């Protein structure tokens, strides 16, 4: 039995290795051999602007391209100061992300090449990181994917000093894979939500806006998430948290109440709603919610206990009883 | 003395500006659970459902069986993995062609690769050296 299992395993590994060996670019292979029926054979975003790269400034040039396409008035020179690291003669991925956030846009990660192609088909240019050289001697380069042709097996990039660089799809698969398919699309807080975005990746990008203190943009992005994922509670909780930070208590209460109606056992909703109700001087309701939060338990129990103690000790509440 | 006060106030200013630039997002009230935690929880749940959905696919279950592994037992073991391990798996599934709905013979090779990665991680197989993390008996 053990022997048979091992033989099977070795055979499976052999097949996997052999198949992987004959197709070093499996994604190009699959996409061109059997294109998904819902994907257009070709697309090119001709209106995406171009900024020629100077010196090592491929990061600022690529980000300016993507931001400008999203309606932000910017140039590579304007960005270079904020995102270029002279010591490295280049731009780090995190700097691309923060550069996007500082301009009030969401940086949505694109997981893999198929999603990248799909984004282009949808009208969104994709900022991609490539390793143009080999792994032991990396040569990093940012470019913007703006077109593809499944029949000709080519892609079009805004890259370096070339406005319309056409290369083999296989070449992009190699160079992009060497950068672990790191890529983003730039989205507006009011939407539309790119199809690569999962609810979590959209909310994480919105949290990025909070981190650079763009609260209004973050709020807008969270509200967009409520419309896109109406059954989920996370966008409602996130929206309410911004409203709490801004001191807009009445709105925070109504948004959290909506979340509570969707899920009455979530300790986060119960705890946060208790705090908001307390602030709104609705003491009895606040206490009921805080008690329910403590009863629900979970990793935030200590905070819920705190909330309950605060509600019970609040002077405003003793007056009303 | 004056210098001392001056340098102190400069220091305070510098520290204040530094604190302001790295201050985490804190909700207005101390006992509100903030968005960092909300997202952490959501993201962990998401990764688990991505991996679960992958494990429940017919072709993936068939692959487990052909390796002599009971797919239900594999699913149970995945449930016991840490959040970080599950997040890593979910990332690999999503960025592979097999996770993007490309179902061809090439997709099958990638599928086998990921399934083997999972069986390795769960301790059913030992194909890849790099999944052997911190074994107690060296060699």
pLDDT digit string, tens, across residues A162-209: 999 999 999 999 999 888 899 999 999 999 999 999 999 999 999 999
Please judge whether A29 and B32 are an interchain contact, meaning their C-beta atoms are less than 8 angstroms apart. Answer: no
Among B39, B106, B125, the residue with its CB nearest the CB of A200 is B39
Least Cα separation, residue B27 to chain A (angstroms): 5
Lowest mean pLDDT among A74-78, A127-131, A280-284: A74-78
**Residues on chain B bordering chain A, Cβ-to-Cβ distance under 8 angstroms:** 25, 27-39, 41-43, 46, 66-68, 91, 94-97, 99-110, 112-113, 116, 125, 127
**Average pLDDT across chain A, whole number:** 89
User: Residue A53 is encoded by which pair of tokens?
Assistant: 């790269």
Please judge whether A30 and B97 are an interchain contact, meaning their C-beta atoms are less than 8 angstroms apart. Answer: yes
Please judge whether A207 and B107 are an interchain contact, meaning their C-beta atoms are less than 8 angstroms apart. Answer: no
Nearest residue to B67 via CA among A13, A211, A93 = A13
Residue A22's pLDDT band, with cuts at 50, 70 and 90, is very low
Q: What are phi and psi of B25, to 5 degrees?
A: -75, 115
DSSP single-letter state for residue A230? T
Please judge whether A200 and B107 are an interchain contact, meaning their C-beta atoms are less than 8 angstroms apart. Answer: no
Q: How many angstroms separate the CA atoms of B11 and A148, rounded?
A: 55
Least Cα separation, residue A46 to chain B (angstroms): 27
Q: Are A289 and A274 in contact (CB under 8 A)?
A: yes
> Which residue in A has a C-alpha nearest to residue B128's C-alpha?
A13
Q: Which residue has the tokens 């001191």?
A: A247
Query: Which residues of chain B have a CB within 8 Å of the CB of A112?
Result: 94-97, 99-100
Q: How many angstroms separate the CA atoms of A113 and A123, rounded?
A: 15
Q: Which residue has the tokens 């990093």?
A: A140
Region for residue A45 given its phi and psi (left: phi exceeds 0; alpha: psi -120 to 50; beta: otherwise): beta
Residue A153's pLDDT band, with cuts at 50, 70 and 90, is very high
Please judge whether B100 and A115 are an interchain contact, meaning their C-beta atoms are less than 8 angstroms apart. Answer: yes
Least Cα separation, residue A194 to chain B (angstroms): 16
For residue B10, what pLDDT is reported? 52
Q: How many angstroms separate the CA atoms of A285 and A265, rounded?
A: 15
Lowest mean pLDDT among A35-39, A104-108, A313-317, B23-27: B23-27
Q: Is the pLDDT of residue B37 over 70?
A: yes
Mean pLDDT of B111-133: 72
Residue B95's pLDDT band, with cuts at 50, 70 and 90, is confident
Nearest residue to B104 via CA among A148, A42, A19 = A19
Q: Is the pLDDT of residue A74 over 50?
A: yes
Contacts of A102 (CB under 8 A, 6+ apart): A82, A212, A214
Q: Is the pLDDT of residue A236 over 50?
A: yes
Q: Is the pLDDT of residue B17 over 90?
A: no
> Which residue in A has a C-alpha nearest to residue B28's C-alpha?
A245
| Burial of B80: CB neighbours in 10 Å, binned 0-12, 13-18, 19+ | exposed
Q: Are A183 and A129 in contact (CB under 8 A)?
A: yes
For residue B91, what pLDDT is reported? 84
Task: Report the percent of chain A where pLDDT is more than 90.
Answer: 70
DSSP single-letter state for residue A149? E
Among B25, B28, B105, the residue with its CB nearest the CB of A210 is B25
> Which residue in A has a C-alpha nearest to residue B113's C-alpha?
A16
pTM given for the model: 0.81
Mean pLDDT of B1-27: 49
Q: How many angstroms separate the CA atoms of A244 and A184, rounded?
A: 30
Q: Is the pLDDT of residue A318 over 70?
A: no
Residue A215's pLDDT band, with cuts at 50, 70 and 90, is very high
Residue B4's pLDDT band, with cuts at 50, 70 and 90, is low
Q: Is the pLDDT of residue A264 over 70?
A: yes
The H or E element containing residue A131 is strand A126-131
**Average pLDDT across chain B, whole number:** 72
Mean pLDDT of A87-111: 87
Please judge whether B33 and A300 are an interchain contact, meaning their C-beta atoms are less than 8 angstroms apart. Answer: yes
Q: How many angstroms separate the CA atoms of B33 and A273, rounded?
A: 10
For residue B139, what pLDDT is reported? 34
For residue A208, what pLDDT is reported? 95
Cross-strand bridge partners of residue A106: A187
Please judge whether A237 and B38 are an interchain contact, meaning their C-beta atoms are less than 8 angstroms apart. Answer: yes
For the beta carbon of residue A237, count every other beta carbon within 10 angstroms. 28
Q: Identify whether A192 is preceded by a cis peptide bond (ω within 30 of 0).
A: yes
Query: Which residues of chain A have a CB within 8 Å of the CB of B127?
Result: 9, 13
């Amino acid at each position: 039995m053990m022997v048979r299992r091992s033989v099977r395993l070795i055979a499976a590994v052999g097949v996997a290795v052999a198949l992987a060996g004959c197709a070093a670019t499996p994604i190009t292979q699959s996409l061109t051999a059997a294109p998904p029926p819902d994907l257009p054979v070709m697309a090119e975003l001709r209106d995406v602007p171009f900024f020629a790269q100077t010196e090592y400034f491929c990061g600022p040039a690529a980000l300016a391209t993507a931001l400008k396409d999203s309606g932000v008035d910017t140039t590579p020179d304007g960005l270079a100061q904020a995102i270029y690291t002279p010591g490295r003669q280049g731009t780090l991925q995190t700097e691309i992300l923060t550069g996007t956030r500082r301009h009030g846009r969401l940086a949505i990660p694109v997981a893999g090449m198929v999603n990248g192609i799909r984004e282009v088909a949808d009208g969104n240019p994709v900022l991609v990181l490539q390793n143009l050289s080999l792994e032991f001697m990396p040569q990093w380069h940012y470019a913007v994917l703006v077109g593809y042709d499944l029949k000709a097996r080519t892609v079009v990039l805004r890259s370096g000093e070339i406005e319309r660089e056409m290369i083999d799809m296989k070449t992009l698969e190699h160079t992009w894979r060497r950068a672990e398919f790191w890529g983003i699309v730039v989205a507006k807080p009011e939407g539309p939500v790119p199809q690569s975005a999962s609810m979590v990746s959209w909310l994480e990008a919105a949290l990025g806006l909070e981190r650079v203190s763009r609260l209004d943009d973050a709020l807008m992005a969270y509200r967009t998430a409520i419309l896109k994922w109406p059954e989920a509670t996370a966008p409602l909780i996130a929206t309410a948290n911004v409203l709490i930070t801004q001191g807009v208590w009445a709105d925070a209460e109504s948004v959290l109440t909506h979340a509570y109606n969707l899920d009455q056992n979530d300790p986060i909703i119960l705890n946060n709603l208790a705090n908001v109700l307390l602030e709104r001087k609705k003491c009895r309701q606040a206490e009921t919610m805080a008690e329910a939060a403590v009863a629900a338990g979970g990793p935030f129990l200590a905070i819920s206990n705190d909330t309950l103690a605060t509600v019970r000790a609040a002077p405003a509440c003793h007056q009303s009883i | 003395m004056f210098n001392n006060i001056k340098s102190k106030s400069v220091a305070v200013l510098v520290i204040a500006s530094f604190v302001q630039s790295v201050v985490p997002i804190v909700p207005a009230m101390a006992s509100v659970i903030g968005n960092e935690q909300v997202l952490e929880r959501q993201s962990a749940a998401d990764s688990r459902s991505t991996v679960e959905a992958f494990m429940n696919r017919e072709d993936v279950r068939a692959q487990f069986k052909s390796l002599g592994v009971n797919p239900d037992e594999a699913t149970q073991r995945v449930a016991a993995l840490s959040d970080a391990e599950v997040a890593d798996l979910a990332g690999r599934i999503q960025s592979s062609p097999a996770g993007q709905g490309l179902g061809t013979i090439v997709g099958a090779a990638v599928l086998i690769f990921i399934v083997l990665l999972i069986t390795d991680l769960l301790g059913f197989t030992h194909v890849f050296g790099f999944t052997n993390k911190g074994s107690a008996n060296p060699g």
